[in-house]
Amino acid sequence: MRRSGILFRDRRDAGEKLVPLLAVLGLTDPIVYALLRGGAAVAAPIAEALHASLIPFLVRKLGVPWQPELALGALAEGAAEPTLNPDVIAACGLSEADIALAQSRAEQEMRHREAIYLAGLHRPDPRGRAAILVDDGLATGASARAALRALRERGATPLILAVPVAPADAIAGMTVECDRLVCAEIHPLRFGIGGCYADFHQLDDTEVLALLRAAAGKDSP
């Protein structure tokens, strides 16, 4: 368990480090879900190694209006209501109007991403199948929590959360949301998730779509 320095070259390297930890679980016919955007690059080598489908899963963080990077909750695709973070809401003194504004912005971005990633996409029914939800790290856990609850409602079982890096307290708070949590490195994240990567560039839509096409065996344009 490392406590400082770069842990991964890039997101693919992080995904490759998760592969042996997931392979030993002996899952039968799992579905690998990638939290977009960053999770797609981590999930790609996992899906390849496990001979599993790579499926995008959309979650949009609800940012505090005056500090968008701080998550007051998250909205998962198909969910009627967002999953909220009461601690952040209380600490920031957020009103119902503040929450409604953040939700409206998240819903707008969700519609945009649905048009890009989900239009015409056939996705397997997760009911009764193992689901591996993958992201590039776990900080507050707002996005992962919303996605896990949505997958649980759809009947996925067992439900596994796989992240390359997370602090111990975030792991402890997430274990109730899934059947198994797999983490390659427990780390305090003093410099955020990005501080654990040599290359942590923001993936754009073109990169993510190329990863999804490659996983589906389609040629890139």
- Do 209 and 135 share a domain, yes or no? yes
Residue 107 structural domain: 61-116
Q: Mean pLDDT, to the nearest integer, of 157-167?
A: 97
pLDDT bin (cut points 50, 70, 90) of residue 220 is very low
- Do 51 and 105 share a domain, yes or no? no
Q: Mean pLDDT, to the nearest integer, of 164-182?
A: 95
Tokens 């899963």 belong to 57
pLDDT tens-digit map of 33-84 = 999 999 999 999 999 999 999 999 999 989 898 888 788 999 999 888 899 9
Total domains in the chain come to 2
- Do 134 and 209 share a domain, yes or no? yes
Q: What angle do CA 6, 3, 59 make, to 5 degrees?
A: 70
Residue 36 placed within a domain? yes
Residue 3 placed within a domain? no
Residue 158 placed within a domain? yes
Contact 154, 127 (CB under 8 A): yes
Residue 40: both structure tokens together: 């797609």
Residue 112: Cβ within 10 Å count: 12
pLDDT tens-digit map of 19-28 = 999 999 999 9
Q: Could you tell me the pTM of the whole model?
A: 0.91
Go through 15-30 and write b for each residue having 16 or more CB atoms within 10 A of its CB, e for each that does not.
bbbbbeebeebebeeb
* 157 pLDDT more than 50: yes
What are residue 136's DSSP bridge partners? none
CATH code, domain carrying 41: 3.40.50.2020
Task: In whole angstroms, give the CA distance from residue 103 to residue 65.
Answer: 10
Q: Mean pLDDT, to the nearest integer, of 150-156?
A: 95
- Do 79 and 135 share a domain, yes or no? no
CATH code, domain carrying 72: 3.30.1310
Nearest in space to 88 (alpha carbons), one of 62, 59, 60: 62
Residue 195: Cβ within 10 Å count: 16
